[in-house]
Structure 1
Amino acid sequence: MVSRFVDRVTINVAAGSGGNGCASVHREKFKPLGGPDGGNGGRGGDVRLVVDPGVHTLLDFHYRPNLRAQNGKFGRGSMRNGAVGDDLVLPVPDGTVVLDRDGEVVADLVGTGTTFVAAEGGRGGLGNAALASRARKAPGFALFGEPGDELELVLELKSVADVGLVGFPSAGKSSLISVLSAARPKIADYPFTTLVPNLGVVTAGETVFTVADVPGLIPGASQGRGLGLEFLRHVERCAVLVHVVDCATLEPGRDPMSDVDALEAELAEYAPALQAEDGADLASRPRIVVLNKVDVPEARELADLVRPDFAERGWPVFEISTASRDGLAELGFAMAAEVERYREQLPPSQPARVVVRPTAVDDRADFTVETDAEDPEAFVVRGRKPERWVRQTDFDNDEAIGFLADRLAKIGVEEELAARGAEPGSQVTIGGVTFDWEPSTPAGIAAMHGNRGTDERMDRNDRVRADERKAAKKARRTSLNEHGEYVGGDDEPDEEDR
């Protein structure tokens, strides 16, 4: 079976979720007040992309696009923390580019061992032992673990080659790479024989470099004709571009100059979106022209005729024959010289520096309060901390809800809601969870508890609920007769009902 070459895939990665914390109280004979001993949940595993020199295609991701790391384990009693989920390490070829759903480049993975964290695992929830304080000596709740990141990524493979062979189909690119290196690509006498890029390692003197055969380039390739648009990305990293020209073609309307001009036009159409690491685009890369198949008498005559035209452009020209191997040694050393010249221009590699970027410590600036677009009387709180705290809260546990209210009040959410005009009973949405706001649990006031898992503040019912206010308002409106006069009783309607 012939293996498939895949250089663009879409994958869905999901990091592991953090394990839930444990709510437990130590129980031992003759120790009635053992205290909380619930352990924390384990962190979820990350999804990491690592450049592996043994991987040359993205085929595995084509058959397995949905990838998930291991979840963290739950915490347990006796102060036992949950196990950390294993990271999912995905080997990728050298030259893999990672893009997000909008097509923005997220990472460019070049060099063996280069690692990119595609999705971070969720943090584990705290157990009740970690939540104990002077106000809550034995919390009857624990925090849930956070879900891991889930996102869709596009992986593109851009071959890391020093020399790129470009030319029309059947120009002899595969034959050239087969005689210059140990690569054995498929060779036949019909167009589009090569359906995947071929890489070969060439040694010329003391210089070792790689050569890539880019298949399927024809006029219109930059707009999707032939196979060019699919494989043009493989010339982006090449230091030298070699035009392989078929001087023995019998197709009408074709000649070496028109072939090279047509391919240069396609590269110019494709190049504006490309920028090399050194800031140079494809137009500034050195060119070498190879006039192939000069073992045919008519081809040699044509090569002698067009050689001066290419020399006027300042491009080195070589007449070769892959069948008789004429001119191959000179061509190999010329490629090596251009590659060495390109490598000398590159800045010296520097070891990666560890950059520490501390996060902001202004908690009050970590959230925003906005009016709900669907309900002018409701509010939406957005922010990293409030949304994370809501995901960690067990809303079936009153004590956990009270703890969430204390945390929100501590960073100023309640003050901001009041400043925006929120009233008791107003609907507030945080992280997709909507609830009636009750500003009765200010931070700094010791929590009042009954049984474990309860909070007496959650049982207060000294205000009229929102549904009761709406029902009373509707009843007053229906008490107006057809002339707009109030007929509902002794009390006059307020100004709002009029």
Structure 2
Amino acid sequence: MAIPSFVDQVTLHVYGGNGGHGVASVHREKFKPLGGPDGGNGGDGGSVILRVEPGLTTLVDYHRQSHRRATNGQPGRGDHNNGANGEDILLGVPDGTVISDADTGEQLADLTGEGAELTVARGGRGGLGNAALASASRKAPGFALLGEEGETRTVVLELKVVADVGLVGFPSAGKSSLVAAISRARPKIADYPFTTLVPNLGVVVAGETTYTVADVPGLIEGASEGRGLGHDFLRHIERCAALVHVLDCATFEPGRDPLSDLDVIEAELTAHGGLEDRPRLVALNKLDIPDAAELAQLVIADLQARGLQVFEISTKSGQGLQALTFAMAQLVAARRAAMPAPAPKRIVLRPPSVGGKGAEFTIKAEGELWRVRGEKPERWVRQTDFNNTEAVGYLADRLNRIGIETRLLELGARAGDTVAIGGDDAVVFDFAPQVDVGAEILSRRGEDQRFTEERPAIRRRRDKDAAYHAADDEVEGEYTFTSLGDLADDAPALDHGDDGVRER
């Protein structure tokens, strides 16, 4: 199947690059057995960015290749070497492209103006290495954080031509000929219907006003319901400041005349919607033909009675074209003057939320399960290597720091309840409250003492220490203090101190 040269609507699948993993590494050098952690951070993944390119007029490139993927960030390395960031992908789109989410239908952006851009798929952040995780209480972490996955999204790109004036009318009414006569555009012109298969743009200069004119493929009755070709391109006149009805005064089709053609086109515009406030002009075309000139004289009064400004033109001889171009320029200038001045760009600084720890997550009871949602806890879970118990302990510290355990207890959670962090791909674990998660980690590398029971040797040592101190306190109560001057020469042997003795 042949690929069309003009495409104004495509579905695009975009993938942000994954962030590189951090690395857990210890500096090794001769005569320096305790060199400290030196693991580097992973690089950030690349993003997919859509940007308006002024030279583009079609979305055909994304019709040919509808999957675009940014590069991944590189993992960190030892000796404090950070991984390289992934490269962003810049995708050029025509001016007037509307981006919508394919799943929800939500409009994400309307890109108009050169340089306007939108990041549709963000790259994942790289994970921290153990050098960045080191602190005064954790001097040599034996773990690193994993890189985050890049954002995946399916978007719909819809092109709406940015033009000031839209030409509408039946097939072969002379719209393409009018664009060619008043501008340097050279659309395809032939003597059969539906010659124009794509919108054509022409730049017109009338006095001090420069504007663009769009030639929309011919409309027929039922176009808004899918008949003919015009229904695919009605979106291209939504941005126009004015509409010009090009009426064929020399048609040989039975049952057609300028007034009935105007009624049919207006009915299709009304069915499409959103164009009621656009000013209209009427151009009675092909007046170089004698019969057409006579017909035009018969309908001018009726058109003017409807409040329409009528121009008699001939694209072949040039009759009336100058007056029409200046009338279009007047409407465009009035529309531009009525538009509010663009607000100056301001840099807005939004400080982080101060709503407290509870504002960073939400907890809901779902039957026998407690579900925790929030950007921070879900991101921390994705960064955790669950094969490393020390990394799991670090995750527990982070979750407890923002108050998840406290909030669960307030809501009535009990030890052994099931807790899930995240949505469909949630991490599920059993709730174990009141675990001592002190800042110091004294266990061996790769282990976390908070997830093991107290060893019997430690318990016996603590019992002996308690018994020793109790016995020492009891002995202290049986001694009395006596000065050296009060002692007799025949005193029994005493235990001498610095300035006194204790007597049994």
Could you say which TM-score interval applies, normalised by the shorter chain? 0.7 to 0.9
In the aligned structure 1, how far is the partner of 2:15 from the partner of 2:33? 44
Q: Residues 76 and 56 of structure 1: is their aligned pair in 2 closer, same or farther, counting only changes over 3 Å?
A: same
Which string of whole-angstrom CA distances, capped at 9 and with x for unpartnered residues, describes residues 261-291 of structure 1?
22112212222xx4xxxxxxx2222111000
C-alpha distance after superposition, 1:205-241 (max 9, x if no partner): 3322111011132222222222232111110111110
The change in CA–CA distance for 1:3 and 1:220 in structure 2 (over 3 A counts) is closer
Report the Cα distance in structure 1 between the residues aligned to 2:239 and 2:70, rounded to whole angstroms.
32
Pair 1:317 & 2:345 matched: no
Which AA in structure 1 matches 2:373? R
Q: For 1:400, which of 391, 395, 404 is the aligned residue?
A: 391
- Aligned partner of 2:9 in structure 1 is 8
Q: 1:170 aligns with which of 152, 169, 172?
A: 172
- Displacement of 1:443 in angstroms is 4.2
Q: Work out the CA distance in 2 between the residues paired with 1:192 and 1:296.
A: 22
Does the CA contact (< 8 Å) of 2:39 and 2:129 recur in 1?
yes
Whole-Å separation in 2 of the counterparts to 1:16 and 1:351: 34
Distance 2:206 2:341 in 1: 23
Shift of 1:445: 4.5
CA contact (8 A) 2:415 2:433 kept: yes
Q: 1:284 corresponds to which residue? A: 277
**Of 263, 267, 270, which aligns to 2:269?**
267
**SS of residue paired to 2:233:** helix
Larger radius of gyration: 2
Tell me what 1:430 maps to.
Answer: 421
**Aligned match of 2:326:** 333
Query: Is the 1:168–1:216 contact (alpha carbons within 8 Å) kept by the matching residues of 2?
Result: yes
| Residue 343 (structure 1) aligns with | 336
Contact 1:69 1:87 in 2 (8 A): yes
What is aligned with 1:60? 61
- Tell me which amino acid in the other structure corresponds to 2:302: D
TM-score scaled by length of structure 2 = 0.85
Post-superposition shift, 1:155? 0.7
Q: Which residue of 2 aligns with 1:377?
A: 368
1-side partners of 2:126 and 2:453: how far apart?
Answer: 32
Matched with 1:484 is none
CA apart distance, 1:425: 3.0
Range that drifts further, 316-325 or 164-173: 316-325
Q: Which secondary structure state, in structure 2, belongs to the residue aligned with residue 70 of structure 1?
A: coil
- Displacement of 1:3 in angstroms is 6.0
Q: What corresponds to 1:366 in structure 2?
A: 360
SS in 1 for 2:348: coil
User: Which runs of no fewer than 5 residues in structure 1 stay unpaired?
Assistant: 275-281, 463-498
1:167 touches 1:245 (CA, 8 Å); kept in 2?
A: yes
What CA distance in whole angstroms lies between the structure 2 residues aligned with 1:87 and 1:229?
A: 36
Give the residue type in structure 1 aligned to 2:430. Answer: D
Kindly state the Cα deviation for residue 325 of structure 1 after the two structures are TM-superposed: 2.1
2:172–2:218: 8 Å Cα contact kept in structure 1?
no
Aligned to 1:413: 404
Q: Aligned partners of 1:61 and 1:139: how far apart in 2?
A: 46
- Distance in 1 (CA, whole Å) between partners of 2:266 and 2:196 is 21
Equivalent residues, number:
449
Partner of 1:468: none
The equivalences for 1:93-172 within 5 A come to 93-101=94-102, 102-172=104-174
Confirm or deny: 8 A CA contact 1:407 1:443 kept in the other structure.
no
| Mapped partners of 2:136, 2:432: distance in 1 | 24
Q: Which residue of 2 aligns with 1:391?
A: 382
Displacement, 1:442? 4.3
Q: Is the partner of 1:388 in helix, strand or coil?
A: helix
Q: What code does the residue aligned with 2:173 have?
A: A
Residue type at the aligned position of 2:396: A
The answer to whether the aligner puts 1:198 opposite 2:191 as a matched pair is: no
Structure 2: unaligned runs, 5 residues or longer: 456-504
Matched, 1:25 2:55: no
Q: Residues 234 and 52 from structure 1, CA distance in 2 versus in 1: closer, same or farther, beyond 3 angstroms?
A: same
**Which range moves more in the overlay, 109-118 or 200-209?**
200-209
Q: Percent identity?
A: 61
- Distance in 2, matches of 1:370 and 1:336, equals 60
Deviation at 1:461, TM superposition (A): 9.2
TM-score (norm 1): 0.86
Whether 2:300 is the aligned partner of 1:300: answer: no
**1:216 is matched with which residue?**
218
In angstroms, what is the RMSD of aligned CA positions?
1.8
Q: Which residue of 1 aligns with 2:449?
A: 456
Q: 1:242 aligns with which of 229, 239, 244?
A: 244
Distance between the aligned counterparts of 1:442 and 1:259, measured in 2? 83
